[in-house]
Amino acid sequence: MPFTKMEGIGNDYVYINDLKEEIEDLAELAIQVSEQHFGIGSDGLIVLRPSNKADFQMRMFNLDGSEGRMCGNGIRCLAKFIYDNGLWDQKSIEIETLSGVKTVQLIFNDQGEVTGARVNMGQAIIDTALIPITAEEDQWINQAITIAGQAYQVTGVSMGNPHLVIFQENIKDLDLQALGPCFEYDTRFPEQINTEFAHVHNRQEISMRVWERGSGETLACGTGACAVAVAGVLNGLTEETIKVNLLGGTLTITWDRSDTGHVYMEGPARTSFTGHYFPQVH
Ligand SMILES: N[C@@H](CCC[C@H](N)C(=O)O)C(=O)O
């Protein structure tokens, strides 16, 4: 099975062309390829499929085999994968995801190589019922909650997938391996949750760490960076355009709140290597 390993600021996935829809169990394949010793090693699997709503369809799976509705770093890399493999020759690509069709604008260097992309991520959702969060309140903006005996002020945002954002001073020393699962599996989050811990430097710059549902701590999360940017504006902390620094690099996020309400994400996309994977037969 030919594959391409790609990363968007260190958020790494295995990319497979399945335009002929030949792979039966994508979730099982995700578990296999993501494993470091018997597989390839990655944060998960991204599969290119045909679409009858857009130019292509993206299916994305976390390393535990659970399916995500959207992947910000993944969709930039998938657009590069499509272009680099000669499947599309235009600078704009419409990609169907489980959270709707997203428009991706490719970014090129002087040599004509794709180095990144700008993605219209669509509208942020802040209604608790839709995120989903089981709560009495319609929205969670700077909401006080207790998780594992600790008090937190949290903001809930969906970017197609559910996120909880916590602004705090010190994010470097957090023990996310211990803390992350307490958020992920709290019963108030019926579909689990991605959690971002964010430090505001100034009104134009934030640094964050993320615990992703289904994958654990990753070096970056595109939808998570968008959720942080939206939460920053909702809490009066930041401007509509900011730089978000993650462990693997930086994204530029704009929330066009006053006009379309859409969130735009811009960042790099890179191919690490290609190869052939031999699926394990059980
Ligand atoms: N890393 C991704 C998000 C991947 C999906 C997420 N773990 C979920 O299940 O919601 C990104 O860059 O957005």
Ligand 1: residue of 7, 42, 66, 70 to mutate (most ligand atoms within 8 A of CB) is 70
221 is catalytic: yes
Instruction: Report CA(123)–ligand 1 centroid distance (Å).
Output: 16
pLDDT at 35 (0 to 100):
97
> Same domain for 115 and 169?
no
Residues annotated within a binding site for substrate = 11, 62, 72-73, 161, 194, 212-213, 222-223
* pTM for this model (two decimals): 0.97
Q: Counting atoms of ligand 1 from 1, which one is nearest the CA of 222? A: 12
Ligand 1: residue of 78, 196, 215, 219 to mutate (most ligand atoms within 8 A of CB) is 215
- SS3 assignment, position 26: helix
Write out pLDDT tens, residues 229-246. 999 999 999 999 999 999
> Same domain for 56 and 149?
no
- CA atoms 195, 233, 229, 58: torsion sign: positive
Mean pLDDT across the chain: 97
What number of residues does the chain have? 282
Region 13-25: mean pLDDT is: 97
> Same domain for 101 and 169?
no
pLDDT at 281 (0 to 100):
82
Residue 130 in any domain: the answer is no
Taking CA atoms only, the protein residue closest to ligand 1 atom 4 is 71
% of the chain with per-residue pLDDT over 70: 100
Q: Counting atoms of ligand 1 from 1, which one is nearest the CA of 159? A: 13
> Same domain for 214 and 252?
yes
Residue 282 in any domain: the answer is no
What's the CATH code of the domain at 71? Answer: 3.10.310.10
> Residues 122, 144, 165, 187: what is their CA dihedral angle, to the nearest 10 degrees?
-80
> Same domain for 272 and 250?
no
> Same domain for 182 and 205?
yes
Write out pLDDT tens, residues 29-74. 999 999 999 999 999 999 999 999 999 999 999 999 999 999 999 9
Q: Which residues have any ligand 1 atom within 6 Å of their CB?
A: 11, 62, 68, 71-74, 161, 194, 212-215, 218, 221-223
For residue 16, give every residue at least 6 positions away whose Cβ sits within 8 Å of its Cβ, in sequence order, or none.
1, 2, 3, 4, 23, 29, 45, 46, 47, 48
- The Cβ of residue 256 has, within 10 Å, a number of other Cβ atoms equal to 14
Q: For 23-41, give one letter per residue: b (16+ CB within 10 A) or e.
A: beebeebbbbbbeeeebbe
Residue 126 in any domain: the answer is no
pLDDT at 133 (0 to 100):
98
What's the domain range around 67?
A: 2-120+268-276
pLDDT at 276 (0 to 100):
98
- CA atoms 104, 239, 261, 180: torsion sign: positive
Is the backbone of residue 30 left (phi > 0), alpha (psi -120 to 50) or beta? alpha
Residue 135 in any domain: the answer is no
ipTM, 2 dp: 0.99
> Same domain for 208 and 243?
yes
226 is catalytic: no
Question: What is the total count of domains within the chain?
Answer: 2
pLDDT at 282 (0 to 100):
75
> Same domain for 155 and 202?
yes
Say yes or no to pLDDT of 181 above 80: yes
Cα distances (angstroms) measured from residue 157 to each of 74, 223, 257: 19, 10, 14
> Same domain for 115 and 158?
no
For residue 112, give every residue at least 6 positions away whose Cβ sits within 8 Å of its Cβ, in sequence order, or none.
none
pLDDT at 258 (0 to 100):
84
> Same domain for 162 and 102?
no
The packing angle between helices 222-234 and 72-84, to 10°, is 140
